[in-house]
Structure 1
Amino acid sequence: MQNVAHLLRARRFLPLFATQFLGAFNDSLFKQAVVLFVTYQLYSNAAKEFQFSAIAQGLFILPFFLLSALSGQLADDHDKARLIRIIKFAEILIMIMGGAGLLLESIPLMLAAVFAMGVHSTFFGPIKYAILPQHLGKDEVLGGTGLVEAGTYIAILLGTILAGVLASQPQFAAAAVVLFALFGFLAGRQVPPAPPAAERLPITWHIVHASIELVGGTMRIRRLFLAILAISFFWTIGAVLIIIFPPLVKNVLGADEQVASMFIAIFSVGIAIGSVAINRMLKSQVSARYAPPSVIAMGVFVLLLHFVSLTWGEHGEELTTLGNFLFNPMAWPMILCLLGVAITGGMFVVPLYAFLTTTVPKTETARTVAANNIVNSGAMVIGALLAFALSSLGIGPVGQLLLVAAMCIVSAWLGWKLHLACDEGRCRTD
């Protein structure tokens, strides 16, 4: 990545990058192993499989909605490196519980661990973005954000691949998630100190009041309002796609869990590519000028994915393996469409995160990210509930791709408004 490869050798960045990478890897490994294990080993009903995928996604997202205000306050008012060590130790305990759920084939225990990992990610999320302006130069923040995003999706890719391999062997999946949680804790211990940038402010422990106050204060600033709404639509799109993939692969394409893992892996690779590409195109400048065409292209690729799925032929009762799937002549158009969706999505969202961390005072960065997480998670929960409801009405994953394409249009409009408001030197910081 242009001008920022040196960060991967710097202690002010590398330990944080490694901690985030391992956390994203373990998140992906555990959640995907749970969904694939339940979908392919425990359930044999298409509607229940789709609904379990939606429930798992919703439970993971819910803590962001409930606890992001508190997590943002803590991140701004405490040493972020110390908080990282506490959070990563908690991950070890959560993964012990999740591993037990896999071994005992206990759906409640697995879902409890998914929810707990959502709590873990809620408290880590504001830190990983707020610490970047504290440890990096202003001209490094966009590149550092892009590296974190690219690394995150490469980690998701690798975790997804491993989940596909281990989904039918829960004992190995359980051991792996605990082991990688331990690695994440060790990496987190190397993050340099990141003390609060100002005197500590009083912590508001009333989470509902704190959330309303934080979101209200942040969304009054027009550039943040537009950036947060655009990011929220993107993650709602991502949430619906992640829910769609396992039942789409099993019940529409008639393929096994390794193909389902490949779909999420391709999505992760594409976003990583888009994260790197947009930094090169913008030459480290924080700008939304490529956001509207990127998300319009994303919508076009989603429509193409819909039409390819419609033309997919009938399949037998026995699920197709990954090797046989790749020999299907329609597989490659589907893979290219999916890759196009992900690349353009990565190009759309990375500069928007840079807006959140570079156009506010450093004393308010974590709170701004937390406000973004609250709105994002609320939108994603709505997306998961909508996917659940449409499934209950008999609208399957192929039909729901049209919903995703429609959301891309709204995202393009928001990206255009942000570009007009904030690019070419017109962005106000008040």
Structure 2
Amino acid sequence: MTTATHLMRQKRFLPLMVTQFFNAFNDNLYKTAMTLFVVYSVYSSERDEALFSGVGSLIFVLPFVLFSALAGQLADTRDKAAIIRVVKLCEIGWASLGVFGLYLVWQGIAVHTFAIPLLLVVLFLASTQSAFLGPIKYAILPQQLKPNEVLPGTGLVEAGTYIAILGGTILAGFVEVETSMILIMITAVLGYISARFVPEALPQGDYEMHFPLLEPYAAKTKNAVKRWLGYPFVAVADQVVMSFRLIKEVKQSRQIWLAIIAISFFWTMGAVLFIQFPPLAKNQLLATPEVASLFLVIFSLGIAIGSVSINALLKGVVSARYSPISVVVMGAFLIGFYIVAKAWTPNSAGQLLPIDEWILEPLAVPLSAMLLGVSTAGGMFVVPLYAFLTTRCAKNAASRTIAVNNIVNCISMVLGSALAIGLTSIGLPVVDQLLVAAAMTMVSAWLGWLLYKAEKEAGLADPF
């Protein structure tokens, strides 16, 4: 904890921490406000609500698949701080469009024909911004921090990220949509201001960017108009090619690849759970949007608690030692969450309960405690794996390694979202889908055990 307190006073760390905080806060403020407002104000069936939530999740992860390779290359070949400032400036643009879309839905103007499609487009833009920041927020840490500061620094960034998610989620569920619009714009501006104080982080090594499809295309096309019209399509294909090349490059390290797969499977479960929360709160628990927001808050708070706790257990040493048991505990709490949710008895009036009444229901506290246990154990599982990635790879490949992690994570989240949508489409109740997520923790435990076994075989296991 002393190291963490020391880092929070350092210019080489604090501006990055604050910028990432505002970024995560605004992403989740917008995403949650949009989802809850549409689910509770526009749709009126569990199927439509779950499908909208699932489509939103798919759109949110798509940019990570498309642009993470480009983001990783940029971060390894350019000043990371300069990229942060440019990306945060772009946030002011998408925030303005998002506020406009929310205003249209609020006023009931072209809701289905224009407003909701615009909200989803803005969600794509917000996610694109995060895709470009993703490789930087972890890869910059070994460059700016001392070796014994990387794990606590990673834990602080992860904890701060989830506290920001918590804050954005709270406000999205508890304030009126017009207040959310104002906060989205204010946060975008504050994020850009804090980004201007991040110290420069120049590229390390001599890695150069590669565009195997784009470069020949540009060289052979002399007509400028045709060239620029064709660039977007070829550039996307180019990044798909680079994504596979980077994945192949990273797979050469068995430990790093196992860590990426373990993290990705964790977020597959996360995608399933996050899709379930709004319709679960509305239809199974008969609760208002504030309760759905509370679920996301509890989940984020637990991740933050787990992030800090695991650093204390590992004493600053980067290791996957506790990952297998942590995710087994997570699965046990998930089963408990399912049992309590299944036993929930709707109020006799059949009306949606506000949070101050819902919390007085007999099973509200046990349900919340189970969810906190789920997310705390999840944080203890995943945080050491992020530190593992940035400390076990080459210094000039940290951003690309994180980019590959983001790509694989998001492919897994797409599959998790598709699974949730598919289960909903065939009529499986949302509450019963919790058991699917619980079963998936066993696979995560196996992956965590394989990673720790590889760590010990390489002589890098923690010295306990």
Per the normalisation by structure 1, the TM-score is: 0.97
Q: Secondary structure at the match of 2:127?
A: helix
Aligned to 2:185: 178
CA contact (8 A) 2:207 2:396 kept: no
- State yes or no: 1:287 paired with 2:319: yes
- State yes or no: 1:419 paired with 2:452: yes
| Structure 1 Cα separation of the partners of residues 450 and 174 of structure 2 | 44
| Structure 1 Cα separation of the partners of residues 410 and 251 of structure 2 | 15
CA contact (8 A) 1:227 1:418 kept: yes
Aligned to 1:61: 61
CA contact (8 A) 1:271 1:344 kept: yes
- State yes or no: 1:367 paired with 2:376: no
Tell me the CA shift for residue 200 of structure 1. Answer: 4.5
Equivalent positions of 1:84-163 (< 5 A) are 84-105=84-105, 106-163=115-172
Aligned to 1:259: 291
| Structure 2 Cα separation of the partners of residues 394 and 200 of structure 1 | 50
| Structure 2 Cα separation of the partners of residues 302 and 390 of structure 1 | 18
Taking only aligned residues, the RMSD between alpha carbons, in angstroms, comes to 1.2
| Structure 1 Cα separation of the partners of residues 327 and 26 of structure 2 | 29
Cα deviation code 1:249-273 (max 9, x no counterpart): 0000000001111110000110000
- Residue identity over aligned pairs, in percent, reads 50
Larger Rg: 2
CA contact (8 A) 1:2 1:283 kept: no
CA contact (8 A) 1:57 1:243 kept: yes
Aligned to 2:381: 348
CA contact (8 A) 1:223 1:427 kept: no
CA contact (8 A) 1:308 1:330 kept: yes
- AA aligned to 1:387 is A
- State yes or no: 1:277 paired with 2:301: no
Q: Secondary structure at the match of 2:359?
A: helix
Equivalent positions of 1:2-401 (< 5 A) are 2-105=2-105, 106-166=115-175, 169-204=176-211, 206-315=238-347, 316-401=349-434
Q: Secondary structure at the match of 2:428?
A: coil
Cα deviation code 1:78-122 (max 9, x no counterpart): 000000000001111011111111001111011011111110000
| Structure 2 Cα separation of the partners of residues 264 and 129 of structure 1 | 23
| Structure 2 Cα separation of the partners of residues 77 and 317 of structure 1 | 58
Tell me the CA shift for residue 339 of structure 1. Answer: 0.3
| Structure 2 Cα separation of the partners of residues 139 and 221 of structure 1 | 23
Tell me the CA shift for residue 240 of structure 1. Answer: 1.0
| Structure 1 Cα separation of the partners of residues 350 and 63 of structure 2 | 39
CA contact (8 A) 1:2 1:143 kept: no
| Structure 2 Cα separation of the partners of residues 392 and 266 of structure 1 | 28
Q: Secondary structure at the match of 1:102?
A: helix
- AA aligned to 1:297 is V
Query: Is the deviation greater in 185-194 or in 173-182?
Result: 173-182
| Structure 1 Cα separation of the partners of residues 424 and 145 of structure 2 | 45
Q: Secondary structure at the match of 1:327?
A: coil
Q: Secondary structure at the match of 2:8?
A: helix
Tell me the CA shift for residue 67 of structure 1. Answer: 1.0
**Stretches of structure 1 lacking an aligned partner (at least 5 in a row):** none
- AA aligned to 1:31 is K
CA contact (8 A) 2:74 2:209 kept: no
| Structure 2 Cα separation of the partners of residues 212 and 84 of structure 1 | 25
Change (3 A) 1:2 1:288: farther
CA contact (8 A) 1:79 1:195 kept: yes
Tell me the CA shift for residue 423 of structure 1. Answer: 3.6
CA contact (8 A) 1:69 1:210 kept: yes
- AA aligned to 2:8 is L
CA contact (8 A) 1:16 1:188 kept: yes
- AA aligned to 1:32 is T
CA contact (8 A) 1:287 1:423 kept: no
Query: Is the deviation greater in 316-325 or in 120-129?
Result: 316-325
| Structure 1 Cα separation of the partners of residues 341 and 258 of structure 2 | 33
| Structure 2 Cα separation of the partners of residues 271 and 172 of structure 1 | 27
Q: Secondary structure at the match of 2:3?
A: coil
- AA aligned to 2:255 is R
Aligned to 2:112: none
| Structure 2 Cα separation of the partners of residues 220 and 301 of structure 1 | 35
| Structure 1 Cα separation of the partners of residues 267 and 431 of structure 2 | 19
| Structure 2 Cα separation of the partners of residues 135 and 267 of structure 1 | 30
CA contact (8 A) 1:74 1:203 kept: no
| Structure 2 Cα separation of the partners of residues 372 and 306 of structure 1 | 30
- AA aligned to 1:94 is W
Q: Secondary structure at the match of 1:186?
A: helix
Tell me the CA shift for residue 236 of structure 1. Answer: 1.0
Tell me the CA shift for residue 425 of structure 1. Answer: 5.7
| Structure 2 Cα separation of the partners of residues 391 and 265 of structure 1 | 24
- AA aligned to 1:28 is N
| Structure 2 Cα separation of the partners of residues 374 and 305 of structure 1 | 30
Tell me the CA shift for residue 165 of structure 1. Answer: 1.8
Q: Which runs of 4+ in 1 moved over 6 A?
A: none
CA contact (8 A) 2:267 2:413 kept: yes
| Structure 1 Cα separation of the partners of residues 101 and 383 of structure 2 | 35
